[in-house]
Amino acid sequence: MKKTYILLTVTAFLAMSFLYMSNQVATSLKLIKESTQNSFKDGDIIFQTSESAQCEAVQIATNSKFSHCGIIFIKNEETYVYEAVQPVKMTLLSEWIQHGKDHKYAVKRLKKADKQLTKEVLQKMKLVGKTMDNKDYDLYFEWSNEKIYCSELVWKIYKEGANIELCATKKLKEFNLNHPAVQQIMKQRYGTAIPYDENVVAPSQLYDSELVKTIFDNY
């Protein structure tokens, strides 16, 4: 009876110790996560991998793990991602992360952000973004302002708001269009009238830009 009591006591102690350590680890990880996210700044560019047939085709065509991106804006001490989905909108960073595959993401920042992204410039970038608010997502990747897709939104906010071209645009025909998954999406979108000479900018081009540096990546 005494041995059984000792065994139960030891088991209970170990269980309580395990729960305590687990809670401590979870708390520490939460604090690290919150600290990291609180270090993000207006104008940072955030990337993730979305899960859909179109996103898979984007990854294949651009030879990149990324299929979606947005621009970080801070509002009322809350961190948002301004993104072109359906429609263009502001999404809380915590929600945005949940939408990505395995909740993984990467964040890039302009190398000369302290000099180039002044308070006035950032305000202008936000005003440019506001002109695109609630616009429909552009399924056809056209280089117009009538509808907007994700990397186009980020590129144009930087260009029109800060006079910075993060990367050169490319023609649609310059991407890897031969893969069956890409061919299927293009056939659904364009039929036989594929706009090979359309100017396009992909998330991968923004990610690889020589003007930005990585400040976070949990891939």
Token pair 């947005």 in the structure block, residue: 70
**Percent of the chain residues topping a pLDDT of 90:** 78
Q: How buried is residue 107: exposed, middle or buried, by Cβ count under 10 Å (0-12/13-18/19+)?
A: buried
Greatest CA separation for the chain: 84
Question: Smallest Cα–Cα separation from 61: which of 184, 213, 167?
Answer: 184
Catalogue all structural domains in the chain, each as residue range(s) with its CATH number. 39-217 (3.90.1720.10)
- Say yes or no to pLDDT of 80 above 90: yes
pLDDT of residue 50: 85
- Say yes or no to pLDDT of 12 above 60: no
Work out the average pLDDT over 180-204.
Answer: 94
3-state helix, strand, coil in the chain (%, to 5): 50, 20, 35
Taking the C-alpha atoms of residue 193 and residue 176, their distance in angstroms, rounded to an integer, is: 17
- For 30-69, write each residue's pLDDT tens digit: 433 555 567 899 999 999 998 887 888 999 999 999 999 9
Spatial neighbors of 199 by CB under 8 A, at least 6 apart, are: 143, 169, 170, 171
pLDDT of residue 28: 32
Q: How are beta strands 170-171 and 68-75 bridged, if at all? A: unpaired
Token pair 């269980």 in the structure block, residue: 15
Work out the average pLDDT over 69-80.
Answer: 96
Q: Please tell me the total number of residues recorded for the chain in this structure.
A: 219
- Say yes or no to pLDDT of 117 above 80: yes
pLDDT of residue 14: 45
- Say yes or no to pLDDT of 19 above 50: no
